[in-house]
Chains A and B, each alone.
Chain A
Amino acid sequence: MTTPSHASPGGILIEGLRKVYGHGDTAVEALRHVDMQVHPGEVVGLVGPSGSGKSTLLKCLGAITEPTSGRMTLGGDVIYDNGWKVNDLRSLRRDRIGFVFQAPYLIPFLDVTDNVALLPMLAGLPNTQARARARELLTALDVQHRAAAQPSQLSGGEQQRVSIARALANRPPVILADEPTAPLDSERALGVMRILNQMARHAQTAIIVVTHDEKIIPTFRRIYHIRDGQTVEEAGEGRDITPAE
């Protein structure tokens, strides 16, 4: 099968996405018909109760699980189109998608710099350049003073900032954040959202934040609610979280 030729805009575009687990009588339709669009530079919330299909959608977007049908475009490139998919999903995840998890999941045996530099290194960047990129991101995220520390020596907020730096390391057009503020208090949670918004604007990255966190939901300008495998878009409060000068 050949790659579909029609080009798409940057960011994330999902059209009619469906995911069915199992088959026959035991089939479970986790995603029924999901439409979604996130523009470059935008941070969008994805909320919904447990079992609504959030994780399945995230796995489809993260090129971990193959959808049953529909179409997905990341950063302007079609990655799935009704049975066709990109061959090298590993490279796709490495170069085109940044992941931020509920827990930072930093590699415990690498220091902070190398945790961030690992992705560019895996992409083939020389070590010195990868570390320079890591230091640049750590500075942007205000954790440069912990560059040589081990992950276990960082606070929860610092670890999460490092994990955001790691997600940004290969300048991906898309970041998928799964409950990134769950373990943090209000101040730190808003701090993480502030960083994500800044990074989205600065690097023109499209960011989807899956969350239950009432503290950060008011910060989104647009929110997708997912229920029974279907998404509904609504406007968010878009509360200003820019720190006071």
Chain B
Amino acid sequence: MISLAGRDIAHSWRKFVLTGMGLGLLIGVTLTMAGVYRGMVDDAQALLDNSRADLWVVQKDTQGPYAESSSLRDDLVRGVRGMPGVAQAANVTYFTMQVRGASGDDTRAMVVGIEPGQSGEPGYLVAGRQITRSHYEAVADIKTGFAIGERIRIRRHDYTVVGLTRRMVSSGGDPMVFIALKDAQEAQFLKDNDAIQNDRIRTAGNPAFNRPGVPGLLDAVQALQTSSHNVNAILVQVTPGFDTEQVAEPIRRWKHLQVYARAGMEDILVAKLIATSAKQIGMFLVILAIVSAAIVAFIIYTMTLGKIREIAVLKLIGTRNRTIAGMILQQALGLGLIGFAVGKVAATLWAPVFPKFVLLLPQDAITGLVVTMAICAIASTLAIRTALQVDPAEAIG
């Protein structure tokens, strides 16, 4: 038996291909939306991977440093280094800001303050070298668009880009710029000149800090106000053979700090930080699926209405209902296949152009194909129902 659906598609292939392309662009958007979510999860995991930490020590009762602000004194790291099972511990700061490039354009980036050679430093470079000087050197993710040797401005100081790295992004997808910890502390916590001047005047006007007969007190207080010794987190690497929880528990208990292992931090980033975005994307996916189903149903229904006379003739000459239903179903599935192929190609082509990372996973494509086929099959039921109700007598008139 010949394939009636195949012959119909071959006969009016232009209409099918054009319709399939329209549907395909919609499917492409759907696949891209799924890719955006996957990209967000992957960014979060890349952030954790790239920090090369087993434990994140943050301010007590916070979910820092990525989901909430966390502030620790930078000398706490010494105490952590002395805890059993800690192989390495390093201070780190994170803050998102506009970084001005040599061209004068601002780039939104997450500035990371690191201790060179410690956890938090980019694991690999694609060009240049790591930070070796104590001040005013930077390593940037290539998505910032900065080049080796470029002078960039962070707050009041200029930094030279000495190295480029890749896939170092915040959970929000902003590329990272790494600078020395001291520079980062100053950039993050230092006030501007007017504010410093204002604070000095206020402090000097306070008789408690400017007592007669206590020389040096005012200077000491003012020095405290202008210097910063805070960090956002301490990244800990555990000595091989130690269980992370076994190391974390004494830090929680004796240092009165919050400690997260990899699973806990991943939970904060994926389940909490991007949960709202994931729901948003999920809603888009549901709406797109409904729109796709409505479009396929409308197209197949319209195409079937255009063949009512032929269907009546087919029924009159003895074609079985299942053959007619099969023809319509196969056409719907054919449309879905064309649409999916176009959508996959479109998503693959436009994904790299997106400003944030879009991760198109094969399993998402397979799920997309199955869902597309299911939607097309469901959408064809209206047309099949209409076709089966056609009276063969319509062929006679």
A interface with B by C-beta (< 8 Å): 55, 58-59, 62, 64-65, 90-95, 99, 101-102, 105, 107-110, 114, 117-119, 121-123, 127, 150, 166, 178
Partner of B396, one of A114, A150, A178: A178
Instruction: Tell me, yes or no, whether B206 is within 8 Å of chain A by CB.
Output: no
Given A107-B310, A109-B8, also A93-B318 (CB < 8 A): yes
Please give, as numbers and ranges, the residues of chain A lying within 8 Å of B310 by CB-CB distance: 105, 107-108
Task: Give per-residue flags for B294-324: 1 if the beta carbon is below 8 A from chain A beta carbons, else 0.
Answer: 0000000000000001100111111110010
Chain B residues near A118 (CB-CB < 8 A): 2, 317
B336–chain A nearest beta-carbon distance, Å: 19
Chain B interface extent, by class:
20 to 34
Asked, given contacts A108-B310, A109-B10, A122-B323, whether A62 binds B318 with beta carbons under 8 Å apart, the answer is: no
Closest chain B residue to A65 by CB distance?
Answer: B393
* Cβ B2 vs Cβ A55 within 8 A: no
7 closest Cβ pairs, A-B complex: A94-B318, A109-B11, A109-B8, A105-B313, A109-B7, A64-B393, A93-B318
Output the nearest chain B residue to A102 by Cβ-Cβ distance.
Answer: B397
Query: Which chain B residues lie closer than 8 Å to A64 at the CB level?
Result: 316, 391-393, 396
Kindly provide the distance from the CB of B17 to the nearest chain A CB, expressed in whole angstroms: 15
Partner of A122, one of B309, B313, B319, B395: B319
Q: Determine chain B's interface SS by DSSP, over half rule.
A: helix
Q: Which residues of B contact A92 (CB under 8 A)?
A: 318
Of B318, B323, B392, the residue contacting A119 (CB under 8 A) is B318
Cα separation A123 to B323 with both chains bound (whole Å): 12
Partner of B316, one of A91, A93, A110, A114: A93
Is the beta-carbon distance between B2 and A121 smaller than 8 angstroms? yes
| 10 extra A-B contacts, CB within 8 A, seeds A105-B310, A107-B310, A122-B317 | A64-B391, A92-B318, A93-B392, A94-B318, A110-B7, A114-B7, A118-B2, A119-B318, A122-B320, A127-B2
**0/1 string, B1-38, CB within 8 A of A gives 1:** 11010011011100000000000000000000000000
When chains A and B are docked, how far (Å) is the Cα of A59 from the Cα of B4? Answer: 26
Asked whether, in the complex, the Cβ of A101 is within 8 Å of the Cβ of B395, the reply is: yes
Q: Which chain B residue shows the least CB distance to A98?
A: B317
- Chain B residues with Cβ below 8 Å from A107 are 4, 310, 313-314
B8: chain A residues at CB < 8 Å are 109
Give A168 Cβ to nearest chain B Cβ, in Å: 12
Contact, CB under 8 Å: A91 / B318: yes
Contacts of A119 in B (CB 8 A): 317-318
In the complex, which residues of chain A have a beta carbon less than 8 angstroms from the beta carbon of B12? Answer: 109
Chain A hits for B7, CB < 8 A: 109-110, 114
Give B contacts to A, CB under 8 Å.
Answer: 1-2, 4, 7-8, 10-12, 309-310, 313-320, 323, 391-393, 395-397
Residues on B with C-beta less than 8 A from A105 are 309-310, 313, 395
Instruction: Note all chain A residues with C-beta closer than 8 A to B10.
Output: 109
Q: How far is the CA of A64 from the CA of B392 in the complex (A)?
A: 7
Query: Chain A at the B interface: mostly helix, strand, loop or mixed?
Result: helix
A23 to B355, CA, bound (A): 72
Cα distance A90–B320 in the bound complex, in angstroms: 7
Q: Check A178 against B317 for contact (C-beta < 8 Å).
A: no
8 contacts between A and B (CB under 8 A): A94-B319, A99-B316, A99-B317, A109-B4, A109-B11, A109-B12, A122-B317, A122-B319
Contacts of B391 in A (CB 8 A): 64
Nearest A residue to B9, CB-CB: A109
Among the listed B309, B323, B395, which residue makes an inter-chain contact with A99, where contact means beta carbons less than 8 Å apart? B395
Residues of B within 8 A of A102 (CB): 397
Are A108 and B11 also in contact (CB < 8 A) when A65-B393, A119-B318, A122-B323 are? Answer: yes
User: What is the bound-complex CA distance between A121 and B391, given in angstroms?
Assistant: 22
Considering the complex, give the chain B residue whose CB is closest to the CB of A88. B318
Q: How far is the CA of A121 from the CA of B319 in the complex (A)?
A: 10
Cβ of B316: which chain A residues have Cβ within 8 Å of it? Answer: 62, 64, 93, 99
CB distance from B322 to the nearest CB of A (A): 11
CA distance A123 to B319 in the complex (A): 9
Q: A110-B7, A121-B2, A122-B323 are in contact. Are A95 and B397 (CB under 8 A)?
A: no
The CA of A64 and the CA of B395, in the complex, are separated in Å by 11
B-chain residues with CB within 8 Å of residue A117 when the two chains form the complex: 2
Known contacts A105-B310, A109-B12, A58 near B396 by CB under 8 Å: yes
A93 to B396, alpha carbons, bound, how many Å? 13
Closest-by-CB residue of A relative to B5 is A109
Task: Check A122–B396 contact: CB distance below 8 A.
Answer: no
Are B317 and A93 in contact (CB-based, < 8 A)?
yes
A95 pairs with B11, CB closer than 8 A: no
The residue in chain B whose Cβ has the minimal distance to the Cβ of A114 is B2
List residues of chain A with CB within 8 A of the CB of B315: 90
- Given A109-B12, A114-B2, A122-B323: A55 and B318 interface contact (C-beta under 8 Å): no
Q: Which residue of A lies closest to B12 (CB)?
A: A109
B317 close to A94 (CB less than 8 A): yes
CA distance A107 to B44 in the complex (A): 57
